[in-house]
Amino acid sequence: MSFLIIGLGLGGGCVMKAGNDSLPTFILQPFQPVMILRPILSLLLAGLLGTAGAAPTHLVDQAPERVVRPDGGKILIDFGRVAFGNLRLEAPAGASGKITVHFGEALSNGAINRKPPGTVRYSKVEVDLKGGQPMVVAPPVDKRNTEVDSKAHPPAILTPKEWGVVMPFRWVEIEGWPAGVETGKIVRQAGFASTWDDTASDFRSSDEMLNRVWDLCRYSIKATTFAGVYVDGDRERIPYEADAYLNQLSHYTTDNDVQMARDTFDHLMKHGTWPTEWAPHMVFMAHADWWHTGDTAWLKPRYDSLKAKLLMDRVRPDGLVKSEQKHVKKEDIVDWPAGERDGYVFTPLNTVVNAFHLRALTMMAEMGRALGRDKEADEYAAREAKTRALFNEKFFDAKLGIYRDGADTPHTSLHANLFPLAFGLIPPERRPAVAGWLVKRGMKCSVYPAQYLMDALFENGRGADALDLMLAPGDRSWRHMVESGTTISWEAWDQKYKPNQDWNHAWGAAPANLLPRHVLGVRALAPGWSRAVVAPTPGKLKFATGKVPTPRGPVKVDWKNEGAFKVELDVPAGIQAKVELPAAAGTKGVFSGGSAVPAKRDGDRWILDKEVTGKVSFEVK
């Protein structure tokens, strides 16, 4: 059996010898942990070890949450959550002999599942103990996620060689371990971004299940920073454009780092992937960076390269994007896996493909103006306006009041409506009907467009319904993920919808950005957060409190919705915040310190006349 034992001695040394099947084995000499050096080493060695252009990462020592002995000579170790890493252990002095170490993501009948479903991870190695000497035990190399010259996909993202092999696991089972084990002598070395700040964000509400969803999704973003760029879980360990954009949105709302998104963007511009709609996601990523940071210096040298991501080579004379047979057959993706497309009918004029094209044009116009390229910006804006009018003529079914999958089919799917609504392409008078239809249709999509579906509902007066869908019973919600026991979000709603799904996929972690942006209600209104909006959506919640990171400091929100709606805000200097508060039936205005605050009612919102900064509090009554 092939195995690897990799030792890193900071302050000590290591000796190399041959392992089985000619794989190298390293036996660690006396180990002196100097954790502060690890992020520095990762950064300095990045260019030499295949991680050039990736954000700095490091290994963090994690003690077990519990260690149990199911029977004599066996140890079951639970680290509480899945993380990408390996094991460092030290047997008692004088111990020798072979042990078998099992790593796994799934547990079955009190033991690690040796035959988990699909691509859920399991691995085992045999180790020769050297009592009293720390050893790093790692699984065998997996060719699937370490290929750098594959013809099937772009090169895998490699972790630093000095780490040894890493894999996602929560449980470790050791057979043959000597009696008297000390839990302090067994640690998981888990990989994370060196810059990750556990205190950067927070969210709590009156619904404990929603809190658990937040915890799952926030940790999913942290756990998947191990590679230094956003990767597709553990299967191939490569970035994909749509995955990366969703990851970026949630990274911004859970941590202060912006570099990982930038490094991922630059990697994808060199190593793009095949789906049609993935290309416009590169425009989305650049726009998100500019909107979040306000940094035109980063954007300027990348702007022209984005033009290749607009699908302009497929645009007809009338402005709509056409799909040839190869696009219809494979490249126009709509959703993934294919069984999650709500019966979508693919035609030469595809509603979803055209929606992405139009949204990308709008973003290019906005970024062009920020860069002083007004002529190009005007051309993009004019093209978008003209084509959007044709879009609404060609794809809208006036009898049904919703959108068809394409110009040449009567079929209507969730996807043909959620993307146009999320992208602001639907005329205002049609939006309530489309939003209502989406609510009735439910979660007839995968975890990927669920981000856009939730955004569409929150932004069109159906926030309470969006929260209900997040927490719905059954197997198509984040509640289901939580109740499954997973500690990193899944690639799909359930194993049956994608039998080969990863259990460590950040594109399934959308509530990590949806809850701060919509339930707390904190969103940027101008590039770089010079202006923001705080517009809480309480739904059925009685309270919510949290902290949302921004480049200018965290925005803190604490609201209660019992009898009257009360909110306390702490907006950092440099941000002027527009405040929009729920306008329940019978309420007459907004008050602060007992005095009325100038505000106007607009539908179901009270909008304050003046923007605020610093610590303020308001009550709607």
**What CATH number is associated with residue 312?**
1.50.10.10
pLDDT value of residue 34: 30
| The pLDDT of residue 118 | 86
Whether 436 and 402 share a structural domain: yes
The reply to whether 24 and 77 lie within a common domain is yes
492, 519, 546 — which closes off a domain? 519
CA-closest candidate to residue 363, choices 421, 425, 411: 425
Is 70 exceeded by the pLDDT of residue 441?
yes
329 and 292 assigned to the same domain? yes
Q: What is the pLDDT of residue 26?
A: 33
Select the more confidently predicted residue: 354 or 152.
354
pLDDT band at 183 (very low <50, low <70, confident <90, very high): confident
Are residues 508 and 582 located together in one domain of the fold?
Answer: no
Is 200 inside any structural domain?
no
Q: Regarding beta strands 599-602 and 543-548, do their DSSP bridges make them parallel or antiparallel, or are they unpaired?
A: unpaired
Domain of residue 132, CATH code? 2.60.120.260
Looking at the predicted structure, is the pLDDT value of residue 71 above 80?
no
Does residue 3 register a pLDDT over 70?
Answer: no
Per the omega criterion (within 30 degrees of 0), is the bond before 337 cis?
A: yes
pLDDT-derived band of residue 95, with 50, 70 and 90 as boundaries?
Answer: confident
Query: Could you tell me how many residues make up the chain?
Result: 621
Does 514 lie in the same domain as 532? Answer: no
User: Final residue of a domain: which of 519, 548, 583?
Assistant: 519
Q: How many Å is the Cα radius of gyration of the chain?
A: 26
Residue 13 confidence (pLDDT): 29
For residue 75, tell me if it sits in a domain: yes
467 and 537: one domain? no
Give the pLDDT mean for 209-238.
Answer: 97
323 & 186 share domain = no
d(CA 118, CA 233): 14
Whether 357 shows a pLDDT value over 70: the answer reads yes
pLDDT at 53: 61
pLDDT at 548 over 80: yes
Structure confidence at residue 131 (pLDDT)? 87
- Residue 199 resides in a domain: no
Q: How far is CA 454 from CA 244, 419, 457, 458, 590, in A?
A: 18, 11, 5, 6, 28
Contacting residues for 380 by C-beta, under 8 A, at least 6 apart: 361, 362, 364, 365, 368
Q: Render pLDDT for 285-340 as a digit per residue (tens, 0 to 9).
A: 999 999 999 999 999 999 999 999 999 999 999 999 999 999 999 999 999 999 99
**Residue 593's domain is classified under what CATH number?**
2.60.420.10
Q: Does 384 fall in a domain?
A: yes
Using CA atoms, how far residue 493 sits from 340, 507, 508, 511, in Å, is 10, 11, 8, 14
Q: Quick one: 90 exposed, middle or buried, by C-beta within 10 A (0-12, 13-18, 19+)?
A: buried
Residue 73 is predicted with a pLDDT of 76
Q: How many structural domains compose the chain?
A: 3
Of all residues in the chain, the percent with pLDDT exceeding 70 is 91
Which band of pLDDT confidence, cut at 50, 70 and 90, is reported for residue 182? confident
Question: What is the predicted pLDDT for the residue at 55?
Answer: 76
Whether 28 has a pLDDT exceeding 50, the answer reads no
* CB 438 within 8 Å of CB 457: yes
pLDDT tens digits for range 487-499: 999 999 999 999 9
Residue 532 forms part of a structural domain: yes
Which domain range does residue 189 map to? 4-193
Check pLDDT > 60 for residue 161. Answer: yes
Is 368 in the same domain as 482?
A: yes
252 and 187 part of one domain = no
Structure tokens at 76: 């079951």
- 459, pLDDT greater than 90: yes
**At residue 374, does pLDDT exceed 50?**
yes
Q: Please report whether residue 203 resides in a domain.
A: no
Residues 560 and 445 both lie in one domain: no
Q: Cα-flanking dihedrals φ and ψ of residue 204, to 5°?
A: -145, 145
User: Rounded distance, CA 403 to CA 535, Å?
Assistant: 29
Final residue in a domain of this structure, among 458, 493, 519 = 519
Question: Does residue 112 lie within any of the structural domains?
Answer: yes
Specify the range with the lowest mean pLDDT, choosing from 149-163, 176-190, 488-502: 176-190
Position 583 in a domain: yes
| Residue 393, burial from CB neighbour count under 10 angstroms (0-12, 13-18, 19+) | exposed
Q: Is the pLDDT of residue 122 over 80?
A: yes
Verify that 14 and 67 share a domain, yes or no: yes
- What's the pLDDT band for 128 if we cut at 50, 70, 90? very high
pLDDT (0 to 100) of residue 50: 37
Any idea what the Cα angle at residue 249 is, between residues 247 and 252, rounded to 5°?
105
pLDDT at 42 over 70: no
Does pLDDT of 358 surpass 60? yes
| Shared-domain flag, residues 356 and 271 | yes
Sign of CA dihedral 281, 285, 287, 292: positive
